[in-house]
Amino acid sequence: MLKIEHLGIAVKDLQKSNDLFAQLLGVEHYKIEEVASEGVNTSFFKVGENKIELLEATKEGSPIEKFIAKRGEGIHHVAFEVEDILVEMKRLEAAGFTLLNKKPKKGADNKLVCFVHPKTSNGVLVELCQSIRE
Protein backbone atom coordinates (compact mmCIF):
# COMPACT_ATOMS: atom_id res chain seq x y z
CA MET A 1 0.00 0.00 0.00
CA LEU A 2 1.61 3.24 -1.13
CA LYS A 3 -0.55 5.86 0.58
CA ILE A 4 -4.14 6.81 1.36
CA GLU A 5 -5.32 7.65 -2.15
CA HIS A 6 -8.64 9.03 -0.98
CA LEU A 7 -11.26 8.95 1.71
CA GLY A 8 -14.83 8.38 0.49
CA ILE A 9 -17.61 10.29 2.26
CA ALA A 10 -21.31 9.57 1.72
CA VAL A 11 -23.41 12.73 1.38
CA LYS A 12 -27.09 13.42 0.67
CA ASP A 13 -26.69 16.52 -1.46
CA LEU A 14 -23.51 16.87 -3.50
CA GLN A 15 -23.93 20.57 -4.21
CA LYS A 16 -24.40 21.51 -0.55
CA SER A 17 -21.56 19.24 0.54
CA ASN A 18 -19.24 20.63 -2.13
CA ASP A 19 -19.71 24.03 -0.52
CA LEU A 20 -19.25 22.64 2.99
CA PHE A 21 -16.05 20.76 2.16
CA ALA A 22 -14.66 23.72 0.23
CA GLN A 23 -14.98 25.69 3.48
CA LEU A 24 -13.62 22.87 5.63
CA LEU A 25 -10.64 22.05 3.43
CA GLY A 26 -9.98 25.58 2.18
CA VAL A 27 -9.98 24.42 -1.45
CA GLU A 28 -12.64 23.93 -4.17
CA HIS A 29 -13.45 20.50 -5.65
CA TYR A 30 -11.56 19.92 -8.89
CA LYS A 31 -13.98 17.59 -10.65
CA ILE A 32 -17.34 15.88 -10.61
CA GLU A 33 -17.70 12.46 -12.20
CA GLU A 34 -20.64 10.09 -12.41
CA VAL A 35 -20.00 6.37 -12.00
CA ALA A 36 -23.27 5.05 -13.43
CA SER A 37 -22.42 1.39 -12.73
CA GLU A 38 -22.27 2.17 -8.98
CA GLY A 39 -25.21 4.59 -8.98
CA VAL A 40 -23.14 7.53 -7.69
CA ASN A 41 -22.09 11.02 -8.48
CA THR A 42 -18.62 11.74 -7.13
CA SER A 43 -16.76 14.94 -6.41
CA PHE A 44 -13.03 15.21 -5.69
CA PHE A 45 -10.92 17.55 -3.57
CA LYS A 46 -7.12 17.56 -3.31
CA VAL A 47 -5.52 17.75 0.15
CA GLY A 48 -1.80 17.57 -0.45
CA GLU A 49 -1.13 14.16 -2.00
CA ASN A 50 -4.44 12.79 -0.77
CA LYS A 51 -8.00 13.25 -1.98
CA ILE A 52 -11.46 13.51 -0.49
CA GLU A 53 -14.19 11.91 -2.59
CA LEU A 54 -17.79 12.90 -1.89
CA LEU A 55 -20.37 10.30 -2.93
CA GLU A 56 -24.02 11.06 -3.67
CA ALA A 57 -26.48 8.32 -4.66
CA THR A 58 -28.07 8.72 -8.09
CA LYS A 59 -30.62 5.93 -7.74
CA GLU A 60 -32.63 4.12 -5.10
CA GLY A 61 -31.07 0.95 -3.80
CA SER A 62 -27.52 2.01 -4.66
CA PRO A 63 -24.83 1.22 -2.06
CA ILE A 64 -24.55 4.88 -1.00
CA GLU A 65 -28.30 5.28 -0.61
CA LYS A 66 -28.39 2.16 1.59
CA PHE A 67 -25.39 3.32 3.62
CA ILE A 68 -26.98 6.70 4.39
CA ALA A 69 -30.35 5.13 5.22
CA LYS A 70 -28.62 2.86 7.75
CA ARG A 71 -25.88 5.07 9.24
CA GLY A 72 -26.41 8.62 8.03
CA GLU A 73 -23.90 10.74 6.19
CA GLY A 74 -20.24 10.16 7.01
CA ILE A 75 -17.05 8.34 6.11
CA HIS A 76 -17.88 5.45 3.78
CA HIS A 77 -14.53 3.92 2.79
CA VAL A 78 -10.78 4.40 2.65
CA ALA A 79 -8.88 3.81 -0.57
CA PHE A 80 -5.23 2.85 -0.66
CA GLU A 81 -3.11 3.33 -3.74
CA VAL A 82 -1.32 0.17 -4.81
CA GLU A 83 1.39 -0.43 -7.36
CA ASP A 84 -0.14 -3.60 -8.80
CA ILE A 85 -3.76 -4.34 -7.94
CA LEU A 86 -3.62 -7.99 -9.07
CA VAL A 87 -0.66 -8.70 -6.79
CA GLU A 88 -2.38 -7.04 -3.82
CA MET A 89 -5.69 -8.83 -4.46
CA LYS A 90 -3.89 -12.17 -4.52
CA ARG A 91 -1.92 -11.33 -1.38
CA LEU A 92 -5.00 -10.24 0.59
CA GLU A 93 -7.13 -13.19 -0.49
CA ALA A 94 -4.37 -15.57 0.59
CA ALA A 95 -4.26 -13.78 3.97
CA GLY A 96 -7.98 -14.44 4.51
CA PHE A 97 -9.56 -11.14 3.45
CA THR A 98 -12.79 -11.33 1.44
CA LEU A 99 -12.71 -9.39 -1.82
CA LEU A 100 -16.02 -7.92 -3.01
CA ASN A 101 -15.05 -8.20 -6.66
CA LYS A 102 -12.94 -11.01 -8.04
CA LYS A 103 -11.60 -8.91 -10.89
CA PRO A 104 -10.53 -5.25 -10.76
CA LYS A 105 -13.25 -2.93 -12.00
CA LYS A 106 -13.20 0.58 -13.42
CA GLY A 107 -13.77 3.20 -10.71
CA ALA A 108 -13.87 6.98 -10.72
CA ASP A 109 -10.80 9.10 -11.45
CA ASN A 110 -9.20 6.70 -13.96
CA LYS A 111 -8.57 3.87 -11.50
CA LEU A 112 -8.84 0.11 -11.39
CA VAL A 113 -10.42 -0.75 -8.07
CA CYS A 114 -11.26 -3.67 -5.80
CA PHE A 115 -13.13 -3.55 -2.48
CA VAL A 116 -12.38 -5.61 0.64
CA HIS A 117 -15.41 -6.69 2.69
CA PRO A 118 -15.57 -4.74 5.98
CA LYS A 119 -16.40 -7.94 7.87
CA THR A 120 -12.86 -9.16 7.35
CA SER A 121 -11.21 -5.78 7.98
CA ASN A 122 -12.51 -4.56 11.37
CA GLY A 123 -15.61 -2.90 9.98
CA VAL A 124 -13.61 -0.80 7.50
CA LEU A 125 -14.62 -0.84 3.83
CA VAL A 126 -11.24 -0.82 2.10
CA GLU A 127 -10.71 0.02 -1.56
CA LEU A 128 -7.55 -0.86 -3.42
CA CYS A 129 -6.88 1.38 -6.37
CA GLN A 130 -4.31 1.46 -9.10
CA SER A 131 -3.98 4.17 -11.70
CA ILE A 132 -4.81 2.96 -15.20
CA ARG A 133 -1.64 3.15 -17.25
CA GLU A 134 -2.02 4.55 -20.75
Q: Minimum distance between the CB of residue 130 and a copy of itself, rounded to whole angstroms?
A: 14
In the complex with a copy of itself, which residue's Cβ is closer, 81 or 109?
A: 81
Q: Minimum distance between the CB of residue 50 and a copy of itself, rounded to whole angstroms?
A: 4
In the complex with a copy of itself, which residue's Cβ is closer, 116 or 129?
A: 116
In the complex with a copy of itself, which residue's Cβ is closer, 11 or 40?
A: 11
Q: Minimum distance between the CB of residue 96 and a copy of itself, rounded to whole angstroms?
A: 8
How is the chain classified by DSSP, letter by letter?
Answer: --EEEEEEEEES-HHHHHHHHHHHHTS---EEEEEGGGTEEEEEEEETTEEEEEEEE-STT-HHHHHHHHH-SEEEEEEEE-S-HHHHHHHHHHTTPPBS-SS-EE-SSSEEEEEE-GGGTTT--EEEEEEPP-
User: Footprint of a copy of itself on this chain (CB under 8 A)?
Assistant: 1-4, 7, 9-11, 17, 20-21, 23-27, 47-50, 71-75, 78, 80-81, 91-92, 95-97, 116, 118, 121-124, 126
In the complex with a copy of itself, which residue's Cβ is closer, 7 or 100?
A: 7
Residues 127 and 115 sit within 8 Å (Cβ to Cβ): yes
